[in-house]
Structures are given as C-alpha cells and as structure tokens.
Structure 1
C-alpha cells in the first residue's frame, strides 16, 4: 500500500473520530480514538515513537515523539487547538525529515468540519 492509499484510510478514520465525539476533547483522546479506527481498518499503527535528533554525529536526547506512524510510512500529528499555526506545520515537516518519511498529515480535531483541520505535508516527492 502506498502513502496516498494509506492517507485516504487515515482521512476516513479521522472523519469517523470527528463525527463520534466531535470537537472539544484533548489531543490524547483523539489520538486514542484515531488509533482504534486505524487498527480496525487493518493498518499497522505505532504511537508516541521516540524520534532521535543527531547533531554532528551525536545522538541528542531531545524528547521528540511522533504521535502516530501508520504502516511505517505516514506520520500523523494530532492537534486539538483553536487555530493551526505555522509552528505546527514546521513540527510536522521536521518529523518527516528526521524520520525519512515522505508523507505526513497534520490533523486538528478542534474544527467544525474535519476537512478544514487536515493538512497534507510532503517531504520531497511522492
């Protein structure tokens, strides 16, 4: 399954999560619900993955964590904020670069319509 096919399944799962409880929960609750939906869709899912940072060949302990990694290919950064900011996008781009993944989805569940809260982020080319 390629990144685009995985992304379609993720968007459908995010929609299901958004419809059921709606906006207003904490990020951790949305993350747990989304993981539940993705696993039920038959996808391989990992969460809160340590992401090391290397500086001049030295591994630094910076405590970066990927919220959700799907099929070892697509990163999901989960948010529940009033407004997505440039720093949220920059965070997702950084995670893509550090992990060598090509596709990320920045999903803000605190939107009236989930389609307004999903940002597709690409590292290089797909």
Structure 2
C-alpha cells in the first residue's frame, strides 16, 4: 500500500502533468484527447497509468453482468483520475469519483476539468476513507 507521502507526491506529479497537457492543448477538445495526452505525459515522466479500466459493480457480493463503469485513468495502481470537459464541475461529478473510489477500494482521486481557462480552477482532490491519520 502506498504511503500518504507517496500518494501526495504522485497526485502532485499528476496535477503537474495535467497542467502541461492543458498548457499545450488548451481548452475545447474532447475528453478522450486529454485522456490520451495525459497518459502520454505521465509515461514521459516515468509514471504508469491504465486508461478506461473496467470497474465492475458488485451488489450483495455478486458482480452485475453487463453493468459497470470505466475509470478514465488509474495511475500507478493508486490514484483514480476522472477527466471532464464541462462548463463547470457539479456535485454529481464528485459523487461519481467518490463512487469509483469506493467500488475500487482506492483512497485518492483527482477530478480534472479541462474546459477552463486556468486548469488549477478545474481540479478537485477527493479522498475516500483515507487509512493514514
């Protein structure tokens, strides 16, 4: 299990990489373009990620057939990154990321909206049952 310091460092690298992608690409593109660009930028920094990772839904201990979600990016098997290209982030977007964290057993997620003039205004860091405190 990653330590709190590892997760904080990793989230900082992810945010720096996302800022670089936004600086290079600007707002206004499709979510999948930012996803592919961010995965490439992370890889150039020596950070692994998996795109569109299937996340099954479990109901009372049983996986629901043909039901599930896809995590935009799972970085270093530790941080879930959910990307958006919307006019503004809404509470439902935070709920979506928190649900992914709960279903996957991960503790740290980043919600990143690329459809903003300054990317720092489109980033939210969410924690679910953080085990270190």
| Residue 17 (structure 2) pairs with residue 13 (structure 1) | yes
- Could you list the runs of 5+ residues in structure 1 that have no partner in the other structure? none
Pick aligned residue for 2:122 from 112, 117, 126: 117
Q: Counterparts of 1:57 and 1:21 in 2: how far apart (Å)? A: 43
1:78 aligns with 2:113: no
Tell me how far 1:75 sits from its aligned partner: 0.3
What are the within-5 Å matches in structure 2 for residues 1-126 of structure 1?
2-60=6-64, 61-125=66-130, 126=132
2: CA distance, partners of 1:68 / 1:30 = 11
Unaligned runs of 5+ in 2: none
TM-score w.r.t. structure 1 length? Answer: 0.96
Task: After TM superposition, give the deviation of residue 57 of structure 1 in Å.
Answer: 1.7
TM-score (norm 2): 0.91
In the aligned structure 2, how far is the partner of 1:85 from the partner of 1:46?
A: 25
Deviation at 1:23, TM superposition (A): 0.3
| CA distance in structure 1 between the aligned counterparts of 2:125 and 2:47, rounded to whole angstroms | 19
RMSD between aligned residues: 1.0
Kindly tell me the number of residue pairs found equivalent between the two proteins.
126
1:112 Cα shift? 0.7
> Equivalent residue of 1:48, what SS?
strand
Secondary structure at 1:3's aligned position in 2? helix
